[in-house]
Structure formats: C-alpha cells, structure tokens
C-alpha cells in the first residue's frame, strides 16, 4: 500500500534573506513580510508593498508586521489602507486596526473624519467603533453639528451613545430634529439617547 514515510522536509519551508517583498510567488512575499516584522527600518518597503498587494494572505502578513513594529509611520501605513479602492483591502485594514491600542488608533483615525468623501468618513467611524477616548467624544460632538451625510451622522450618533455622557444629549436631539424625514437617523439617535439615559 502506498502509505509511505515522508522524505526529508522540503527546504522550501525555511525563510531566507532572499525572500523578497516583490517576488512573483505569494508564499515568498508572505515569508518576506513575516521576516520583517521586527525591523522598523523596513517600514517604507512594507508600506509601499501594502499599497499594491492583492493577495489576502500577503496583505495580512504585511499588516501584522506593521502593527508589530508599531511606530507612527508603520501604523500610518495601516490606516492609510482604509482609503483603498478594494473592499477586501479595507476589510483587512479594519481587522488590523482593531489590534492597535485605543489612544493611538484615535489619533491616527481622527483626520479621516475630515476627508472630503463621505464613504471615507464612514470608514473612519467604523474603525473607531468601541474606542474610548475623550478627544473622540469632543470631535463627535462637533461633527454632529456640521455633518450633512446621513450615514456619517448615524455612525457618529451611535458612537456618541456608547461613549458620551449627558452632555451629548442636546447634540443628539438637534441631530434628530435635523433629520426628521430620515427613519434610520430617528432610529439611531433614539438608540443613542436611550443608551445615554441608561449610562
């Protein structure tokens, strides 16, 4: 019967200095990214590759390496991926950002709330969900007063309901009045107000 003992382990497994981030083989690119996880000087190369990488597993390894290095430029490259065209790239960015500690994530993500595209403001708020930070609460209050996009407002109201206190109530009530004709906004602000009342 052809059940047989394996031959000696294939050499392909070991990662070597020759693994390259621009190799044609995704397995080689992934190994290269994993090998660079502890090397702050590799951030520009990791970030450049991340911007164009299309293989999910390589992208995940690049993001892991950048989060592990953890410098401002490394994490900046991670959050920059939120503005990628491809939803798959954004999904990977959301997942990686979840592993960045609150205060740093907030600092990195707040500028996205000023982006000209409403889509990107929503993505910024999505990535900020469940972050606890006083800076964030202040920014959300300001946003509720000026923002015109209904989806951005709903996401901001939801976040504020989770983190704010009684001081957030008037802003939420004004928002509710402003979007009287929009059922989802009514629902989201009511939910946020109910949460504040419980807190």
Q: What minimum distance in Å lies between the beta carbon of 150 and another protein?
A: 5
Q: State how far the Cα of 50 lies from the Cα of 181, in Å rounded to an integer.
A: 42
Q: What minimum distance in Å lies between the beta carbon of 174 and another protein?
A: 18
Per-residue HEC secondary structure of 36-79 comes to: CCCCHHHHHHHHHHHHHCCCHHHHHHHHHHHHHHCCHHHHHHHH
Window of 41-49, 106-114, 116-124, 166-174 that interacts with another protein by CB under 8 A: 116-124
C-alpha distances in angstroms, 66 versus 26, 59, 61, 95?
A: 18, 11, 9, 13
Q: Which member of 45, 48, 55, 80 binds another protein (CB under 8 A)?
A: 55
Site membership for another protein, residue 39 (CB under 8 A): no
Site membership for another protein, residue 84 (CB under 8 A): no
Spell out the residues 6+ positions from residue 120 whose beta carbon is closer than 8 angstroms to its own: 82, 83, 112
Binders of another protein among residues 8 to 27 (CB under 8 A) are: 9-10, 12-15, 26-27
Which stretches of the chain bind another protein, using CB under 8 A? Answer: 1-6, 9-10, 12-15, 26-27, 30, 54-58, 60, 87-88, 90-92, 94-95, 98, 118-119, 122-123, 126, 129, 150-151, 154-155, 158, 182-185, 187-188, 191
């Amino acid at each position: 019967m052809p059940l047989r003992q394996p031959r000696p382990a294939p050499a392909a497994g070991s990662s070597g200095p020759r693994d390259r981030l621009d190799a044609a083989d995704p397995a080689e690119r992934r190994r290269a990214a994993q090998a660079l996880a502890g090397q702050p000087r590799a951030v520009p190369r990791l970030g450049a590759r991340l911007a164009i990488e299309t293989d999910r597993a390589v992208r995940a390894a690049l993001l892991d390496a950048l989060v592990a290095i953890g410098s401002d430029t490394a994490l900046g490259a991670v959050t920059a991926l939120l503005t990628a065209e491809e939803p798959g790239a954004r999904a990977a960015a959301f997942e990686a950002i979840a592993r960045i500690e609150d205060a740093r994530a907030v600092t990195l993500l707040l500028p996205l709330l000023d982006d000209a595209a409403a889509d990107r403001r929503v993505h910024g708020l999505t990535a900020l969900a469940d972050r606890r930070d006083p800076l964030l609460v202040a920014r959300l209050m300001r946003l509720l007063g000026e923002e015109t996009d209904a989806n951005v407002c709903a996401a901001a109201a939801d976040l504020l309901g989770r983190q704010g206190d009684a001081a957030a109530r008037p802003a939420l009530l004004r928002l509710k009045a402003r979007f009287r004709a929009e059922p989802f906004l009514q629902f989201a602000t009511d939910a946020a107000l109910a949460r504040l009342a419980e807190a």
